[in-house]
A and B are shown apart, each in its own frame.
Chain A
Amino acid sequence: MHRRDFVKLTGIGAAGLMLPISGNIVTAAELVDTGLDFAQKKQLANIALSAATEAGATYADARIGRYLNQFVTAQELRVDNIVNTESAGIGIRVIANGTWGFAATSDMSPDAIAKAARQAVAVAKANSKFQTEPVKLAPVKGVGDVQWRTPIKQSAFEVPIKDKVDLLMEANNAALDNGANYITSVLFQVNEQKFFASTDGSYIDQDVHRLWSPFFATAIGATGFKQRNGLGNPVGMGFEYLDGDPKEQIKVQGANVGYRYSYDMVQDARDAGKQLQAKLKARSVEPGKYDLVLDPHHLMLTIHESVGHPLELDRVLGYEANFAGTSFATLDKWRSGKFQYGSDIVNLVADKTQKHSLGYVEYDDEGVKTKEWDLVKDGILVNYQAIRDQVHMIDQNESHGCCYSQSWADVQFQRMPNVSLKPNPEKDLSADDIIKDVEDGIYIVGRGSFSIDQQRYNFQFGGQLFYEIKNGKITEQIEDVAYQSNTQEFWNSCVAMAGPSDYRLGGSFFDGKGQPSQVSAVSHGCPTTRFNGVNVINTARKSV
């Protein structure tokens, strides 16, 4: 992420949250104002497309965006910050002389839009002198006028600030009353209003909503401190996600509560307080090989890092070599049709169509209809994630529909769609069913420290909560667990997974990629899953 996009929302050094915020700060009333209507946006977009074409572009698209955010932060019993932001403008992307050009402006006057379009063409022509790989676009048929909205029940922006503050205060109190000494809780609400138009003949207006309410709790003991983060998920839902519907809870015997499509933040904060006290007393793990049972709220990040990123085609081809890196999943492995990414029960799919997910939209940011496709089928690597200007490099002629830009001011490029592990298709097993077959193992809940190399071979992941499993039963909470493995070895050690009833969506609100860096929100679905004989290390070290 670019430094300038960070705003420090809390004042406590190490415990402070650096959050990416862009846009101007506005009042709450402006957040529910609907902005320009479809006809106005179409008219402005047409100005951009005509100006670009007249200046020599062979293709052009225009994105008119209005990006609204609200962030509420509370520490212990005080509200730290309430920030409303708005950012609006137009981004114009063109192809001229076989080269991409891009320009953006917040000035929405017809003259400024036409000027930006001509500037984009000028940039394309200037860069074409150094171009050695002319752009080849996969065909897309224009879809005419389309409107779409994330299916939400209650827009978070319409909920009074007081209700949000009350919720965070109740959660903070619940943690503090049950064993936490400190807690920071946050409510993020995002609304992307984006209108896409292209010379292919599409005018697509989409209203996208996302929500996340994390917390970070700490307890101080006699000789040190422990931390436990909230187990809620970032979602493509409205405020209804926070209604705490008990039907959406999945209880694991002797351990935690998992949340599906509804989150009880207060209950989770209460649990966090108690679990923090247990963490302070917990025994440190004995390093060695264990059978791991991974909770979906944990496994989602393992999927993100070890499947989502290595199968991004731009990484595979070297476009991200100077920043995020390249990939072990090279084209020759894919072309062989035999590369065993995981065991034969492993089926990983990409999509931008799952309801409640962060990636869910009807069309991507270059006007391609979204879909679901296989990445790993019966354990074999079968495809990548690619967009219009990339699919020809893998002998395909249809974009996967996973192009995205974080704002009107940034150029769109290939971003990770939702990448998910399919649940057990044969038996609808529960998490308890998976645990009961394990003799000597560890059940890991929640996302902790995670680190992976630049080609996505070697990784090390921690969690929030760790439970010892002995003879099919959870015995006690333990601490200082991280597992270290190699992507291919790890996915080939996958031996069992729960069924559709246990399937949950986790996600990342701020996945970073590119230079200048852009963030993107992405979900990962999976059931509770078992991996055999994984190397576990102890992360505790004597203090100096």
Chain B
Amino acid sequence: MAIFTEQEAQALLKKVLAFSKADECECGLEGSITGNIRYARNTVSTSGEVSDVTLAVQSSFGKRTGTATINEFDDASLEKVVRRSEELAKLAPENPEYMPLLGPAKYDKVDAWRDSTASMTPADRAQMADASITPSRDKKMVAAGFLRDTKGFFAMANNKGMFAYHRATNADFTVTVRSEDGRGSGWASLDFNDVSKLDTGKASAIAIKKARDSVDAKEMEPGRYTVILEPAASVTLLGNMARAMNQRAADEGRSFLSRKPKEGEELPEDAPKNRIGEKLFDERVNIWSDPLHPEVPTPAFSADGAPVGKTVWIENGVVKTLPNSRYWAQKTGVPYVPTAYSGGGLFGGGVQMIMAGGDASLEDMIANTRRGVLVTRTWYIRSLDPQTLLYTGLTRDGTFYIEDGEIKYPIKNFRFNESPIVMLNNIEELGEPQRINGSLIPPMKIRDFTFSSLSDAV
């Protein structure tokens, strides 16, 4: 029984808490069933189904904390896991930053479950893989892809009366199509809570077209270009920026949001240590999180059980809010800013980002570009300087030269050295946001994007 209902989860956690002898006890129950199919060279290579449920118990005596987990649910096992966490807590050194547990709270109701996804079978997966492989083979192309569907739940409770529950389904798909001679390569990806929206054939058609159109790429000199970044080309850079937006790191002087004196300036002792309130980006930049967004729902509570609602991180280019821990919020005398639970299992991952865009489609954006480069996706992104958020990486699977509103020809891939901060200052146009990796990101037209060298990779 990998998927517990709210009532089943609550009953089990209540039983666990009854065994506790610690000052404070909190437990989390998380389960999922994940199926996948993988193919390459136009044939299925591997597929599988994994089911798992884990109970984690955290016990505390004063500021000493221990955690233990188990995946057996008879009474003896439940008591054993509680005792284990208590033993570990007694062995642990005191954590000076330990915060007392939170009490009960009311949470918004989130709708993230779709029966279509929850009822996927191996035959469905094979069919969806075939809808990608067959058209590729027919067009003398070679497809490699991966489809995964997950249903899962997470519940938490503590001995102060807190209880929270969330369940969700998710399906994600990526496909790379290459020409038989390896001179062209295209890519597409889709992810939804509802697998019935996931059309592997349609996504594969885009990848097939890009693969065909990218054969015989020409060389362009590296330099600064106006680029149109499809959401897959910018999502990692933006995600890296979002993860670096932490109040504590900023206050401690080790973030791009640490307040530093300008040349010749002396900051008073009590000056703010971070850059909340500063305009760092173009005024069209608005980024927020919202657990209730119907396209990209997340749990409406954080890992410590605090309710999470809509939080605006950047408004009209101004840094509005930075997430923090309860310890740091208390120490610096500011409100606690939790983020939605994204621990293990289905909900593991980064910060959900919703970025405002416009109405323009990708095609519209290409049509009103005089000269530029269309980037399908970026790859192998690594930090060069955490102070300026300078990153390096490469374009991949479909890079094209645009002239007078049309794609003229494919070009060789570039290495870029660029910062999302600079990018978000050089916005020309934002298109209609699309879901990617659980976030909503618009295609963006950016001027003066820095390509530093050429790559022969296809």
Interface residues of A (CB under 8 A from B): 3-4, 6-8, 11-15, 24-27, 78-80, 82-83, 100, 102-104, 106, 123, 126-127, 129-133, 161, 165, 181-182, 218, 220, 222-225, 227, 317-323, 325-326, 328, 330, 409, 411, 449-458, 460, 462, 480, 482, 484, 486, 515-516, 537, 539-544
* Cross-chain contact B41 with A133 (CB below 8 angstroms): yes
Within 8 Å by CB of B43, from A106, A130, A321, A322, lies A130
* Cross-chain contact B46 with A411 (CB below 8 angstroms): yes
Within 8 Å by CB of B253, from A25, A225, A319, A326, lies A225
* Cross-chain contact B48 with A318 (CB below 8 angstroms): no
Stretch of B16-24, B289-297, B377-385 at the chain-chain interface: B377-385
Within 8 Å by CB of A132, from B43, B84, B91, B243, lies B43
Residue of A at shortest CB range from B54?
A: A24
* Cross-chain contact B386 with A14 (CB below 8 angstroms): yes
Whether B206 is near chain A, meaning CB under 8 Å from some CB there, is no
A-B contact pairs, 29 of them (CB 8 A): A4-B32, A4-B346, A4-B348, A13-B245, A13-B255, A13-B323, A14-B249, A25-B56, A27-B87, A82-B88, A126-B126, A132-B42, A224-B260, A320-B144, A321-B176, A328-B456, A330-B182, A411-B48, A449-B384, A455-B457, A462-B384, A482-B384, A515-B36, A539-B390, A541-B385, A543-B256, A543-B387, A544-B422, A544-B425
Q: Which of A131, A224, A317 has the most CB of B within 10 A?
A: A224
Other A-B contacts than A13-B243, A13-B248, 10 sampled, CB-CB below 8 A, are: A6-B348, A14-B244, A24-B70, A26-B68, A102-B48, A161-B91, A319-B45, A321-B176, A330-B182, A409-B50
**How far is it, in angstroms, between the C-alpha of A322 and the C-alpha of B188 when the chains are bound?**
10
* Cross-chain contact A227 with B88 (CB below 8 angstroms): no
* Cross-chain contact B458 with A455 (CB below 8 angstroms): yes
**How far is it, in angstroms, between the C-alpha of A100 and the C-alpha of B44 when the chains are bound?**
10
Interface residues of B (CB under 8 A from A): 32, 36, 38-48, 50, 54, 56, 67-71, 84, 87-88, 91-93, 95-97, 122-123, 126, 129-130, 133, 142, 144-146, 148, 174-176, 178, 182, 187, 243-246, 248-249, 252-256, 258, 260-261, 280, 323, 325, 343-346, 348-349, 379-388, 390, 392-394, 396, 413, 415, 417, 419, 421-422, 425, 452-458
* Cross-chain contact B144 with A130 (CB below 8 angstroms): no
**A12-B248, A225-B254, A326-B182 in contact; A486/B456 too (CB < 8 A)?**
yes
**How far is it, in angstroms, between the C-alpha of A326 and the C-alpha of B87 when the chains are bound?**
49
Provide the residues of chain B in CB contact with A541, threshold 8 Å.
385, 388, 390, 419, 422
**How far is it, in angstroms, between the C-alpha of A230 and the C-alpha of B142 when the chains are bound?**
44
**How far is it, in angstroms, between the C-alpha of A469 and the C-alpha of B244 when the chains are bound?**
35
Provide the residues of chain B in CB contact with A455, threshold 8 Å.
456-458
Provide the residues of chain B in CB contact with A449, threshold 8 Å.
382-384, 392
* Cross-chain contact B146 with A451 (CB below 8 angstroms): no
**A218-B254, A318-B178 in contact; A458/B457 too (CB < 8 A)?**
yes
* Cross-chain contact A325 with B457 (CB below 8 angstroms): yes
Provide the residues of chain B in CB contact with A161, threshold 8 Å.
91
* Cross-chain contact B396 with A182 (CB below 8 angstroms): no
* Cross-chain contact A454 with B396 (CB below 8 angstroms): yes
Provide the residues of chain A in CB contact with B50, threshold 8 Å.
104, 409
* Cross-chain contact A127 with B457 (CB below 8 angstroms): no
Within 8 Å by CB of A544, from B46, B56, B388, B393, lies B388
Provide the residues of chain A in CB contact with B178, threshold 8 Å.
318, 321, 326
Residue of B at shortest CB range from A220?
A: B253
**How far is it, in angstroms, between the C-alpha of A131 and the C-alpha of B42 when the chains are bound?**
9
| Whole-angstrom distance between the Cβ of B318 and the nearest chain A Cβ | 13
**How far is it, in angstroms, between the C-alpha of A330 and the C-alpha of B42 when the chains are bound?**
19
* Cross-chain contact A130 with B458 (CB below 8 angstroms): no
| Whole-angstrom distance between the Cβ of B90 and the nearest chain A Cβ | 11
**How far is it, in angstroms, between the C-alpha of A123 and the C-alpha of B425 when the chains are bound?**
52
* Cross-chain contact A457 with B248 (CB below 8 angstroms): no
* Cross-chain contact B122 with A83 (CB below 8 angstroms): no
Provide the residues of chain B in CB contact with A24, threshold 8 Å.
54, 69-71
* Cross-chain contact B71 with A458 (CB below 8 angstroms): no
Within 8 Å by CB of B246, from A13, A26, A223, A454, lies A13
Within 8 Å by CB of A224, from B248, B387, B396, lies B387
**How far is it, in angstroms, between the C-alpha of A323 and the C-alpha of B453 when the chains are bound?**
23
* Cross-chain contact A15 with B91 (CB below 8 angstroms): no
The 10 closest A-B pairs by CB, nearest first: A13-B246, A458-B455, A455-B457, A453-B457, A3-B348, A322-B144, A220-B253, A321-B144, A14-B244, A322-B176
